[in-house]
Amino acid sequence: MTEPSAATTTDGASGSAPRLKDVAAAAGVSVKTVSNVVNGAEHVAQRTRARVQAAIDVLGYQPNATARRLRTGRSGMIALAFPELPSPYFAELAVEVIAAARRHRCTVLMDDTAGDPRAELRIASGLGDPMIDGVILSPLGLDRRELAARERQIPLVLLGEADFGPVCDHVHIDNVAAAYEATAHLVAGGRRRIAAIGWQDPSPRATAQQRMAGYRAALEAAGLRPEPALCPPVRAYVRPDGAAAMRRLLKLPARPDAVFCFNDLLALGALRAIHEAGLRVPEDIAVVGFDDVEESEYAIPSLTTVAPDKTGIAEAAVDALLHRIAVGDGEPGRLIQPGHRLVVRESSRRR
């Protein structure tokens, strides 16, 4: 587990780290007001909060986790874990979560679970570390029973598509609606043999199930029949699997004229396979991805993709976790769905 590094700015006059009273003097407020801002109290006026935050930023004030724990019962440290941190989507979302947590003066500890249910359960239980106030977790291998029976019932917010019911707060976009919109966009562009890359056998994960449901619903709404041959399964959502699936599609007697990929990495692999086959995107085959990772904008051609509101997801997750830390688990878990949008680029231009 790694902790994001943060430089501590010292007070040039004394050579020591700035304290609450230094921030209070710089902002022209009481030490209690600074403490309220640092600890995320909601009753501080917005203008006052902004003035205190500006002083904190200028002085480089860093709360002492141990002292904060003794004073408030909280350390200001939260854990964040993804199943595949090197994935561009998770890396970009991690940056957003860290930024959202920093606005609440919280430190984020990060881990990569590799989808191992044992690692996910350990994270969901707070790593056995009493200094961790709560956890944001995107589970891949954990099931509902294991989650409900976790050893330490630490405040927990889930990300991703897996359905765990009201066990805890859950933040994710409407994947069925997003996949429907992506597929309907291809239909509106005159495409009729629309393939899908992202199904998984023999046990499809929630991501595959939800995005496939949206894809099929859009085809059926357009009077098109989903064909199993147009939905080659993949092992993982990575570029090589996208390329391999696209090559299988290109060998069909009647190749597709469009393909909806369940993430951008699959789509980037598909673009490569189409190029290697001497075909053109979008003239011969249109391509749409999902996630709007930075690489999609700079692909050749640039990739049309579903853009989840990553900032909204991160802020909703952090806000939900801090709420749980403050009020406990008396309330049932909530489903929170930030928005998404379809970003149309060169890869699906109308013929």
For domain 20-62, which CATH number applies: 1.10.260.40, 3.40.50.1820, 3.60.21.10, 3.40.190.10? 1.10.260.40
Q: pLDDT band at residue 220, thresholds of 50, 70 and 90?
A: very high
Indicate whether 347 pLDDT > 50: yes
List, for residues 10-55, the tens digit of each pLDDT value. 333 445 678 778 888 999 998 888 877 776 666 788 888 888 888 8
Domain 175-308: give its CATH superfamily.
Response regulator (3.40.50.2300)
307 vs 343: CA distance, rounded Å: 6
What's at 332, amino acid-wise? Answer: P
128 vs 282: CA distance, rounded Å: 52
**Which H helix or E strand runs over 305?**
strand 304-308
CATH number of the 77-172+310-339 domain: 3.40.50.2300
Q: What is the pTM of this model?
A: 0.79
- pLDDT value at position 41? 65
77-172+310-339 and 175-308 in the same fold: yes
Q: Is residue 309 within 8 Å of 339, Cβ to Cβ?
A: yes
C-beta neighbour count of 294 within 10 angstroms: 11
List, for residues 127-176, the tens digit of each pLDDT value. 777 789 999 999 988 888 888 777 667 899 999 998 887 788 999 999 99
Q: How far is CA 238 from CA 110, 111, 274, 297, 315, in A?
A: 22, 20, 16, 17, 27
- pLDDT value at position 309? 97
Q: pLDDT band at residue 3, thresholds of 50, 70 and 90?
A: very low
Q: Is residue 177 within 8 Å of 214, Cβ to Cβ?
A: yes
End-to-end CA distance of the chain: 49
**Of 171, 172, 173, 175, nearest in space to 320 by CA:** 171
DSSP string, 222-286: TTPPP-GGG----SSSSHHHHHHHHHHHHTSSS--SEEEESSHHHHHHHHHHHHHTT--TTTT-E
Average pLDDT, the chain: 88
Domain ranges of the chain: 20-62, 77-172+310-339, 175-308
Q: What are phi and psi of 258, to 5 degrees?
A: -160, 155
Helix extents (H) in the chain: 20-27, 31-38, 46-59, 65-72, 88-103, 117-124, 144-148, 175-188, 206-221, 239-250, 264-276, 294-298, 310-327
